[in-house]
Structure formats: structure tokens, C-alpha cells
A and B are shown apart, each in its own frame.
Chain A
Amino acid sequence: MIAALLGPRLAAIIIKELWAVLRDPRSRLSLLMPPLLQLLVFGYASTMEVRHVTIGVLDRDGGQWSHEIVQRLAGSPNVKRIVRLDSENALARAIDTQQVIAAVQFDSHFSADVSAARGAVVGVVYDGRKSNAAQIVSGYIDRIVAGVAGDIHTARPPAPSGSSSNVTWFNPNLDYLWFSIPSLVVIISLVSSTAVVSQSVAREKELGTYDQLMVSPFRVWEILAGKMVPPVLVGLANATLYLAMNPLIFGVPFTGSLWLFYPSLLVFLLAVSGIGMLISVVANTQQQAFLGMFALTVPVFLLSGYAAPIDNIPPFLQILAEANPAKHFLIVTEGLFLKGMPAADVFANTWPMAVIAVVTIAAASYLFRSRLE
């Protein structure tokens, strides 16, 4: 059937390439098991939320109001445990050894200050080694203290009221998993398909079968097309597996159209395989190909918007990120999972990947051909 569709030569080389990847049972396993494990472990691990924190308390006051604040801290769903500290030294030790991420300090006259409306002060010390988590925990503590302050009835007129009501679209409970699962679909299909493609030409060179390939009647485009098929199929298979597993395990909604997802995924995988092919053609050994692929995948991963928000990176790196297929496909995937992204927006983020695919595949075949002569 494949032969009828593509012509016998192309079919033959595709079958050969598929065999080369799937023949070894261990490499078959390493194409499927790691991505599955990654989705499970890293899906749950990658959370920017800060929960189950331990907070130290140095309470020199022991009065009504310090007690009230500590009670509310202990009752917060984000706080796992409160550790009582009895001195400044103990507080410093607890922070230094990372036993606690923050320590709350009450002076001996704290409750008296509150009752007398003298402007009571709560001191909080945070572990700046965890800059992001400390900042988030300071938000929790500030809110709890402000809540207690709001309940204090003094003779003074009430502070100006008013509020803001937050409505979160696309992810009403702000579940971080709803962000990480779609992102991991991108990251893992990226990693698995580059791993396969970067080895393809390099392996032939190392094993010496490269020359056999050269003297075969295949044209360059047929050889390269054959070599692009396995990584694209591996990427498609992994992404499909995730789409199927997601409702069973994670329950992240997929609100967009699969008819938009698959064409965009295909373009993404072609772009990724193009980059991998370029590395494979340049490398002389499998080791160089792997390391080259690795050296490229790490920046692609870090500048995709998954590890840190794209909005935060400096402008010159944002320009560089435009050449990153994962950055574009992450927008498409998040959009199609959560936002029901319309075709125009999907297209706007797909054509840059098509450009990357065309440029890299053209460059790879040019280099491949120039090595022939």
C-alpha cells in the first residue's frame, strides 16, 4: 500500500529507516517508556505553586493578636507546619538550614500595640535563596496579616473599601497542571523526535553504511525524506498517546479542534526534524550528533515559554525565540487545549514553524549533497 502511494523506491527507504529505528527492542522501549514516565513525573513535578511550606514563629508576645495570626497561618491550605522558635539564633538557624522558608516575629508588646492602635509591626524574614517561592509565600503571609488587621474593630472610621473580583478565563481554578500537561506534549514530542533524527545520518557514517547509501540509486531527497519519516512518526505517536491518556489521568480539557492540532503538530515535527537533520548531517559520529542535538534542545526548551514566561525574557532573546519552533507550538497547544483557539491564530503561529522547516531541510539537503561530491 505504501509502495502504491509513494512509489517503490521511497517506500523501500522509508521501510528501511523504520526498521533501523524499531529493530532493537531496547531502542523501541526507549522511544515509548521515557516519554510516558516524563509525562507522569514531570507533569506533576513542574508546578510554580508554592504549597506545604513550613513557617517558623518567634512569638515574644504570646498575646491575643499574635495567637490569632499564628492560628490563621496554621490554618492556611498552603502551610504544612508551624515551627515554634525561641530565640533570634534559633530563627537564623532555621532559615540557614532551610528548615523553614519564612519566619514570623512578634515583639513583646505586639498585642498591646494592636489594642492601643499604635501601629503594630509584624516582622517576617524570608529565605532569599528561594527568591520566587519566598515572594509567593510573602504574598500569603501579607494577605493573612491584612485579614487579621481588617477584623480589628477600632474606634476609627473604616478604611476605604472597594475590591477587585478576579475571573480567570480558560482555567477557572488556576490549576497549574492545565499549563504543564499541554506544554509537556510539546516538550516531549520535541525531545523524542530530535533524539531519533539526529542519530539517523550520523549512525550511517559511523557504521560505514553511509557510502553504501551514496552508491545506491536513491536521490538525495529520497534519502532525506526516508530519514524524516521515523522521527515525525515517533513524535505523532507520542503526542497521540498523550492526547488519549490526558482525559483518563489528568483531565485537562481540549477545547480546540483536532483538525487544527494535527496539521500544526506535523509542521512542528517537520521543523524539529529539519533542525535535527542539519545536526546529523554536520556530525561525523553518533556522539557528536547526540551532543549537538543536546546543545540545541536545551536552549529550545528554556526559551519555549515552559520553563519561564516568554514575556520575561529580554528583547534580543525574544527575537532569537522566534526561530524556536517549540515557542510557536506551545502557543498553539495551550490555545487548542484551553482557549478553543480559532484557525487564524493557529495559522499565525504555524507559518513561522513552516519557514523553519523549509530553511533547515533545504540546508540539510544542501550539506548532504555537498558531501557527495
Chain B
Amino acid sequence: MSEGHTSGFDPRRFRAMLVKESLQIARDPSTFLIAFVLPVLLLFLFGYGVNLDTARSRVGVVVQDNSAAASSLAGAFQGSRWFDVVATGSVSTLSPDLVAGRIRGIVVIPDGFGRAVAHGGGTIQVLTDGSLPNTASFIGAYAEGVRATWAAARSTDHGAVHPPPIQTVSRFWFNPELKSRYNLVPGSIAVVMTMVGTLLTALVIAREWERGTLEAVMATPVGMAEFIATKVVPYFLLALGSMTLCTVLAITVFGVPFRGSPLALLAIASAFLFPALGQGLLISAATKNQFVASQLALLSAFLPTMLLSGFLFEISSMPKPIQAISYLVPSRYLIPQLQTVFIVGDDWALFLPNIAVLLGFGTVFFVLAVRATRRRIA
């Protein structure tokens, strides 16, 4: 585009363009789907469906010993709130259930257990399904817990009380009941803003490139700054709208506390939308093709937000090269802020550095997007 016939920024023209873009968005039913229906669905899924809290595990119990101690321990497993004993029998009859996934573990109380207990010992065996590593380690730990509690209760019955020499008193700040919903629901707002900011923006603008309607707009006296702004502002407002909807639902329906201020949330969300929208623009200008843009937006924005931002998986546990990649994911800097503004409160010492990084990413994306747009037109 030649800069000659554009007279910088004209408020009237800008308003007209803004109205055009807003109407275009409002008329498309799929916008409504992404900005309002899908966020509610996501929140619902993260609020109810994706539950990382340990649930009762289905196990089988095998008693190979006919002592009173063995049946008393088996009873302790039956009565435990961590386990749902769905089958009994022998290891060989229960192992097909473990293969089929009908049970997640087998507790074996071996032959001679009663005699061992009488001599102050007694070892049980816990067979777990390693194809679900997390569940397997929980079952191992909780089965030992049931056994230890049972053993302690028995020794108390026999008159010996031994409090452990060192006790650990644990306090979980901000979320004493350790509800995973408290961090998943705020985190899912990052996913929603990525969907509207990057995915939807990339897709819609790529379609305009594909159809050539962008060139038509470029042929008018609209300046580059105006052009980019009118493309971005409606999506910015749309994303803030779905963020607000999610926040209200998180507080009212899902009972997530909101201990920060709305102003802080607005600042955080706006700072994140800057790189998110920039990335969307960049993808559309660089690909100019709806299918490729959609795949690229999924791969470079949506999936990293789900998997590399610390939302579902702990970043410190990832291998070093993957951790290095995660520094390039803008939502990595958003997730801690969202979780903090919801369940901790305003902590500007945590917000400001993250906001600065997000604005830095945004600047880079917008500069690249402007360059890609110019090159397309030249």
C-alpha cells in the first residue's frame, strides 16, 4: 500500500470501519458459538468433568490367609473411603479385570499374614495398573495408608500408644481443601481467551485474505494503523466479553473465590489479548489460507495453552528443552496471574513482570503481522 493517499488517522473513517467490522462479527453465528457457547461448555467441563482430585478407586481384594487379622484388614479395605472393593477372589481370576480396566489394583493379603502380624510384622502386596501411572501411585500410597492405620488401631487395642516422634502439620494456602476446580476454572479462562483472540481472529482474517475482500479494503484510503486497529478492536472486546462471562460463571456457578480486584483482572486479560490478537493476525497474514491458518493456530496457540502453560501439567517436571519452549508460550505468563487474581488476591509484584513480558510478546507479534501484511500487498 502506498502511504501517499492515506492521511494518517481519521476518527470518522475509523468509526465507520469499526462499525463495519463489528457488524460482520455480530452477523456470523459461528462467532457466537466460539465466544459464548464454547466458553460455557469449557468451564463446565473443567468445573465438573476434568477432576484431578483423587476419587475412590475400584480394586479387588485377595485374601490368601484365613486368620482373623487377614479378614479384619480385608474389612478395613471394604470400609475405606478411598477404595471401592468390587471383586474378591484370587490373583489369577482378578488379573483379567485389571487388563480390561474394570479394576485399577489388587490388594493381596498373603498366606501367613496372621502369623506375621502376631510377630509384629505383616506385609501385604499391592498390584496396580501401571498403564495409568497416576492412579497406580495413588492406589499404592492409599493402600499402605489403610494398612498402616489398621495396624496402628490394632496396636492401640493392645494397649500400646505411640505417637510418631515427629509430626508434620501441612497447610495448603489459598485452597485449603485442595479443590482442583479452583485452579482449573481460572486456567480455562486462558484457554477461552486464546480461542477468541488467536484462533477465531486467525481464521476469520485468513478467510478475508482467501476471498480477496481484504485487498478491496486496502484499496480504500484506510491507513495501515487504522486497518489493523479496526480488525483487532472488535475481537478484543469480544474476548473481554467472553472473559467476563466466564468470570461471572466461575464465581456464581462453580463457587471459585474471587479475591483480587476486577481492575487487576481487566489489566491482566488486556495484556494477554495483545499478544493473542497479534499472533492471530500474524498467522492469517502469513498463511492467507483458512485450513492452514486453523491448523497453525491450533498448533501454535491452542495446544500450547492447554499443555505447555502450566495449566494442566507442571512445567518444572518437563524435560529441559520442553521447558525452554514453554518460555515462548504467552499463556505461560497468564496462568499464574489468573490463578492468583482469583484465589489469592491482587499481587502486583507477580502481575507486573508478567504483564511486561506479555506486552513484549504482543509488540513482536504486531510488528511481524504488520510486515507480513505489507509484504502481501506490495
Contact = CB atoms under 8 A, between A and B. Distances in A.
Nearest to A65: B166
Contacts of A70: none
Interface residues of B, number: 117
A185 B334 CA distance: 29
A133 B183 CA distance: 11
Contacts, number: 349
A129 B343 contact: yes
A162 B147 contact: yes
B30 A287 contact: yes
B29 A288 contact: yes
Given A45-B318, A98-B336, A128-B172, A313 B49 contact: yes
A22 to B, nearest CB: 12
B132 interface: yes
A347 B55 CA distance: 28
Q: Is the interface of B mostly helix, strand, loop or mixed?
A: helix
B216 interface: no
B182 interface: yes
Interface stretch (A50-58, A209-217, A258-266): A50-58
Interface in B154-184: 154-155, 160, 162-176, 178-180, 182-183
Contacts of B255: none
A37 B164 contact: no
Contacts of A294: 34, 38, 195, 199, 298
Interface in B114-136: 116-117, 120-136
Interface string B96-107: 101111001000
B141 A139 contact: yes
Nearest to A199: B291
B76 interface: no
A131 B182 contact: yes
Contacts of A345: 96, 99-100
Contacts of A338: 130-131
Contact of A160 (B38, B152, B203): B152
A240 B133 CA distance: 25
Contact of B50 (A37, A124, A308, A337): A308
Given A121-B169, A309-B134, A312-B55, A169 B127 contact: yes
A122 B48 contact: no
Interface in A1-48: 24, 26-27, 30, 34, 37-38, 41-42, 44-48
Contact of A299 (B41, B104, B299, B316): B41
A302 B45 contact: yes
A161 B121 contact: yes
B331 interface: no
A317 interface: yes
A253 to B, nearest CB: 11
Contacts of B319: 44
A298 B42 contact: yes
A308 B52 contact: yes
29 contacts: A26-B287, A45-B326, A47-B314, A49-B314, A51-B316, A97-B350, A119-B167, A121-B166, A122-B169, A129-B175, A131-B53, A131-B178, A138-B172, A141-B170, A142-B170, A160-B120, A162-B123, A164-B124, A166-B140, A168-B136, A169-B130, A290-B290, A291-B30, A291-B203, A292-B30, A313-B50, A314-B51, A317-B49, A341-B99
Q: Which 3 A-B pairs have the closest CB atoms?
A: A171-B130, A128-B175, A162-B122
